[in-house]
Amino acid sequence: MTLLSVNLNKIALIRNSRDTTIPDVVAHAQLCIDAGADGITVHPRPDQRHIRVDDCDAIAKAIKVEFNIEGNPFAPAKPSDRHGVSDYPGFMSLVERIRPAQATLVPDGDSQLTSDHGFDLSQDAERLAPIIATLKDWGCRVSLFMDPNPQDMVIAREIGADRVELYTEAYAAAHASGDYATVLKRYQVAAEAASKVGLGINAGHDLNLHNLPDFAIENLLEVSIGHALVVDALSMGLAATVARYKAALVKRG
């Protein structure tokens, strides 16, 4: 069974558009869990434009399902420029304090609107290896955000990753155009390579109710979905939307 982890970044983004605590991120995490979500994902960035440091602490204390914190492991500490918002302590310091079940490492930068590529392990493997070892010492399962390149799966395993999260924007774009078979095959080959070396497989980015049932990847353990799910919730309601995504996962493949 493929698990659904709901990314709460867009809930926090709505809150941050005003000087308010509404919508309450923790309360919405619980709404998702009550509706059947298997986990909660957040991706705090140094500028804290959506999920903030305090949100991570509050969610970790409140929820009883798997907590997944995404981010760039090389992101340093950054002082906050907003009144009442805690300083960003750096990704590794944040994870050390919270010890989430899963840490998903993503090579994003402050200038990116959202994550738009996976790690290039020909360049990043050497400096990622000790970070992965540290995270595992802290009790975190480690997933690397990766493009569907089969040759990189061996390296990911060699440097200690437990899972890869396949970056699915290319699949989503191809699906929207109506011709996705060739692109899907790339993901299937990459997933097969990952499984062959013992990596677990996650996936995320632009997955939605339309393309998720066709994402025929064997041994897919978890999807992380935020943007599309929150958009759908505007018309269907959050609980009903979570249920629809869970049903889409059952139909997948």
Question: What are the residue ranges spanned by the domains of the chain?
Answer: 3-251
Report the run of H or E that residue 13 belongs to, with start and end.
Answer: helix 9-16
Check residue 79 and give its pLDDT.
85
Check residue 114 and give its pLDDT.
58
User: Considering the entire predicted model, what is its pTM?
Assistant: 0.95
**What angle, 0 to 180 degrees and rounded to 10, lies between the N-to-C axes of helices 91-98 and 53-62?**
20
Out of 28, 50, 175, 205, the active site residue is 205
pLDDT in tens, 111-133: 555 555 789 999 999 999 999 99
Is 210 considered catalytic here?
Answer: no
Helix, strand or coil, per DSSP, at residue 82: coil
Check residue 148 and give its pLDDT.
97
Is 66 considered catalytic here?
Answer: no
Check residue 83 and give its pLDDT.
76
CA distances (Å), origin 245, targets 2, 22, 35, 105: 11, 25, 11, 24
Q: Please give the CATH superfamily to which domain 3-251 belongs.
A: Aldolase class I (3.20.20.70)
For the chain, what is the total number of helices (H) and then of strands (E)? Answer: 10, 8
Out of 70, 165, 175, 222, the active site residue is 70
Check residue 253 and give its pLDDT.
57
Is 28 considered catalytic here?
Answer: no
pLDDT in tens, 18-40: 989 999 999 999 999 999 999 99
Check residue 108 and give its pLDDT.
79
- Kindly give the parts of the chain with pLDDT less than 50: none
Q: What are phi and psi of 73, to 5 degrees?
A: -65, -15
Q: Which of 67, 208, 243, 32 is nearest to 141 (CA)?
A: 67
